[in-house]
Amino acid sequence: MNRTRLDDRLSDLGTDGYLLDASQEDANQLYLSGFTGPDPFLTLYADGEVHVLVSGLEYGRATTEAAADTVERHADYDYEYGGREARNDMYATFVRDKGVESVSMPPRGPVGTADALRERGIDVAVDTDDRLREVRAVKTDEEVDAIREAQRANEAAMRAAEELIAGADVATEADDAEAGVLLRDGEPLTSERVTEEIEVTLLRHGCALDETIVAGGAQAADPHDRGSGPLRADEAIIVDIFPRSKATKYNADMTRTFCVGEPSETLREWYDLTERALNAALDAVEPGTTGEDVHAAACEVYEAAGEPTFRTDPETETGFIHSTGHGIGLDVHESPRLANGGGELEPGHVITVEPGLYDPDVGGVRIEDLVVVTEDGYENLTDYPIRFAAE
């Protein structure tokens, strides 16, 4: 964590401290406390120091693990598990004990805690800019290395998926399965089977996983459809993998689109266009440019080819119907955004670049690389070929 940047970004909030009430599931909490507590706990940042308050059950681990200046336990405030009011009293006492009479909380902090502190005379303001999230967006070298390591696992999983798809047979009239369905060992190759292979590979490489996408045909035309059922020849199959390192908790993200057999002329054009959109967006990545500029670079490739985007038609349900990318770190989706309104890129931003085209009548194509913004451009953290024909 970069405390100078933290102090700088939080300096004009006008409150005495910054308060988090969350478990390790919350990236702000994990970042500021450094503690992987499974249940919600308090972290207060005040006067340049990080103070953590945990239950007795977590205390031993928290003292070892937390990147905090002080770690206290509930018993230090004579609190025994039970009453909600007593717990809120303890929270208020903890905050006041640090000389803090007013706190900022991030927008997704719990309203129950905010209101309970207010009732006890502590001012609670919402940090609507979610500044800790902005601090997190710029990674240290160690954080970039953690993402790089997760990306290596991602590449091993993509390789396993591509081999499974490339090695499939195609069912003919003579088979039990419907003609055109991909077969492995005589059984239909399903999205679920490919997903399982990806996730087992990630586990073997020290990564946990969220929700892998393996979606073919019309399913691939919905960017958030995870995919299900048999995959088929001649259709585009989107494979989007976002593993999380178990050791570091940092995420990686990569998408490739594969085809077995003969894709339609339209799918071929879409693939080429999308590869060009990816390269145009990557070319635009450098410090000082904005997320909006990078998004525009991808949009322009599609728009020049007559494909709809949200810029040409905000209501379109086909074409390029999402942003060009997002920051990634302890969250899969974090700052900055590569989209309309996306702000200035800075060295240390780790972002995905992932243009795509979608239409239920055609299918979906998306290609996604993971890059870090450097002083003079970007470094691509992705080491995986871009090819439509699975091999």
Provide the binding-site residues for a second copy, judged by CB under 8 A.
25, 38-40, 56-58, 60-61, 75, 80-84, 105-115, 124, 126, 128, 196, 199-200, 203-204, 208-209, 211, 222-225, 314-315, 317, 321-322, 333, 339-341
**Based on CB atoms, which residue is closest to a second copy, 190 or 279?**
190
The β-bridge partners of 216 are: 237
**Based on CB atoms, which residue is closest to a second copy, 7 or 80?**
80
Please report, to the nearest 10 degrees, the dihedral formed by the alpha carbons of residues 191, 193, 196, 202 taken in order. -80
Cα 110 to chain centroid distance, Å, stands at 22
**Based on CB atoms, which residue is closest to a second copy, 4 or 128?**
128
Inter-axis angle of helices 265-284 and 291-304, nearest 10: 150
Is there a contact between 333 and 274 (Cβ–Cβ < 8 Å)? no
Angle (CA) 336-124-67 rounded to 5° is: 60
Burial of 340 (0-12, 13-18, 19+ CB in 10 A): middle
**Based on CB atoms, which residue is closest to a second copy, 80 or 262?**
80
Shortest separation between residue 229's beta carbon and a second copy, angstroms? 13
The β-bridge partners of 20 are: 43
Shortest separation between residue 33's beta carbon and a second copy, angstroms? 15
Shortest separation between residue 199's beta carbon and a second copy, angstroms? 5
3-state DSSP assignment of residue 273: helix
Shortest separation between residue 192's beta carbon and a second copy, angstroms? 8
**Based on CB atoms, which residue is closest to a second copy, 205 or 279?**
205
Q: Which residue do the tokens 């910054």 mark? A: 18
Shortest separation between residue 62's beta carbon and a second copy, angstroms? 10
**Based on CB atoms, which residue is closest to a second copy, 186 or 341?**
341
Shortest separation between residue 53's beta carbon and a second copy, angstroms? 16
The β-bridge partners of 237 are: 216, 258
